[in-house]
Amino acid sequence: MKSEKDLIVLSIKDFLSLKMLKYSLAPFLITIILMYILFFVIAGMGVDSLAGMQVESTQVSMQDGIPHTQSVTTMIEGNSIVEYLMSFAITSWLATFLIYAIGGFLTLYLSIFIAIIVIGFLTPFVLRELQKRHYGDIELIGYSNLLTDLFLIIKWAVTMILLFIVLIPFYFIPVLNIVAFNLPLYYFFHKMLKYDISSNICTKEEDREINYFFSNKLRLKTLSLYLISLVPFAIFFGAVLFVIYLGHTYFLEVKKLRN
C-alpha cells in the first residue's frame, strides 16, 4: 500500500518522463492559442461598443450682467473616447485597475476551464501509459461514450454558470467572496477531472463504490489540485500531472476492488 507521499513522488517521476512531457505541451499550446483568439475577439467587441459616445457639457457666460447657460453636445468616436477618459486622473486609474484586475481574473479562470476540457482528450493516452508502466494486471474497461460525455460537460458547465449567478450576493463580502468566486469553477474542475479518469478505468459499479467509500478523499485531492491550478500558468503545464496523480489513485482503488 503506497503512502500519499510515495504517490506524489511516483506521479512526479512519471510526469518527468519524455512521453508525459510531450503530452503536457498540448494543453499549454492549445490553451495559449485559444486565449489569444479570445483576447482579440473580446477586445474587438470592446472597441466596437466604444465606437461612439456623446459627451454633454454646460457653459455659463455673463452678458451685460445676465448669466447665459449654453449646453454643448459632442460626439466622441474611436480612440478619442479612450483619450478622453484617460485625460482624467480618476478614470485613468480606475480603467487601469479594472483592466488588470478583471482581465487577470478572467484570463486565469478561462485558462483553467479550457485546459480541463483539453486534458479530457489526452486522459486516455496518459492512463494507458500509466497502465503499461505500473498496472499491467489491471484492464482499462471504462464506461464513457461521446453522447454521455457531451451531455455531462454541458450539464456541469450550465450548473457552474448558475452557481456563478446564484453566488453574486457573496461577491461583495470579504473572505466569503474568495470562496464564492472559486466554488463554481472548482465544481466543474472536480466533476470533469474525476469523470475523465474514472470513465476510462472503471466500470460504473466500481466508480459508484469508489465514490461511496472515498468521496471525501477524492474531494480533498481535487481541491488540492485546483488550488495549485490557481497559481498563474500552473494549469498549462500541470494538467497532465493532475491526471497522473489522480489516475494512480483510481488504479490503486480499482486494484483493491478487483482483488
The series of mean pLDDT values per 10 residues for the chain, 259 residues long, is 86 93 81 72 54 50 59 48 51 55 67 83 92 93 88 94 93 89 93 94 93 92 92 81 94 91
Cα within 13 Å of Cα(66), Cβ side? 2
| DSSP tag of 17 | S
pTM of the prediction?
0.75
d(CA 29, CA 115): 10
In a domain, 163, yes or no: yes
On whether residue 93 sits in a domain, the answer given is no
Q: Which three cell numbers, joined as nine digits, stand for 188?
A: 466543474
Same domain, 70 and 33: no
The pLDDT, as a whole number, for residue 247 is: 95
User: Quick check: is 195 in a domain?
Assistant: yes
Q: Are both 61 and 170 inside the same structural domain?
A: no
Q: How far is Cα of residue 100 from the mean position of the Cα atoms in its chain?
A: 18
Residue 225: Cβ within 10 Å count: 22
Does 9 lie in the same domain as 132? yes
| Domain co-membership, 42 together with 64 | no
Same domain, 20 and 70: no
**Do residues 23 and 63 both lie within one domain?**
no
DSSP string, 84-153: HHHTSHHHHHHHHHHHHHHHHHHHHHHHHHHHHHHHHHHHHHHHHHHHHHH-TTS-------HHHHHHHH
The answer to whether residues 221 and 164 belong to one domain is yes
Q: What is the pLDDT of residue 75?
A: 47
Count of domains forming the chain? 2
At 153, the amino acid letter reads I
99 lies in a domain?
no
Residue 100 lies in a domain: no
Q: Verify that 25 and 146 share a domain, yes or no.
A: yes
* 145 and 67 fall within a common domain: no
- What pLDDT score does 92 carry? 52
Assess whether 199 and 219 both reside in one domain.
yes
Classified as helix, coil or strand, 232 is coil
Q: Give residue 12's pLDDT.
A: 94
Predicted local confidence at residue 44, as pLDDT: 56
* Cβ(142)–Cβ(200) below 8 Å: yes
* Same domain, yes or no: 57 and 175: no
Do 132 and 185 share a domain, yes or no? yes
Residue 145 covered by a domain:
yes
Range of the domain at 61: 52-78
